[in-house]
Amino acid sequence: MDRSSLLQLIQEQQLDPENTGFIGADSFAGLVHSHELPLDPAKLDMLVALAQSNEQGQVCYQELVDLISSKRSSSFKRAIANGQRALPRDGPLDEPGLGVYKRFVRYVAYEILPCEVDRRWYFYRHRSCPPPVFMASVTLAQIIVFLCYGARLNKWVLQTYHPEYMKSPLVYHPGHRARAWRFLTYMFMHVGLEQLGFNALLQLMIGVPLEMVHGLLRISLLYLAGVLAGSLTVSITDMRAPVVGGSGGVYALCSAHLANVVMNWAGMRCPYKLLRMVLALVCMSSEVGRAVWLRFSPPLPASGPQPSFMAHLAGAVVGVSMGLTILRSYEERLQDQCGWWVVLLAYGTFLLFAVFWNVFAYDLLGAHIPPPP
Positions marked active-site: 247, 312
174 in Cβ contact with 240 (< 8 Å): yes
Cα separation, 93 vs 102, in Å, equals 11
Collapsing DSSP to helix, strand or coil, 24 comes out as strand
Collapsing DSSP to helix, strand or coil, 330 comes out as coil
DSSP label at residue 243: B
Going through the chain in order, the beta strands assigned E by DSSP cover 22-24, 58-60
Cα separation, 312 vs 309, in Å, equals 6
DSSP label at residue 23: E
Q: Count of H helices and E strands in the chain?
A: 18, 2
Q: Got the DSSP string for 246-313?
A: SHHHHHHHHHHHHHHHHHTTTT---TTHHHHHHHHHHHHHHHHHHHHHHHHS-SS--SSPPPPSHHHH
Beta-carbon count within 10 A of 205 CB: 12
What is the H or E stretch that residue 10 is in? helix 3-12
Helix%, strand%, coil% for the chain, nearest 5 = 65, 0, 30
> Cα angle at 220 between 214 and 225, to 5 degrees?
120
Of 122, 125, 104, 101, which Cα lies nearest the Cα of 113? 122
Cα separation, 109 vs 112, in Å, equals 6
Cα separation, 99 vs 68, in Å, equals 26
Q: Got the DSSP string for 165-183?
A: GGG-TTSB-GGGTT-TTHH
Q: What is Dmax (Cα atoms) for the chain?
A: 82
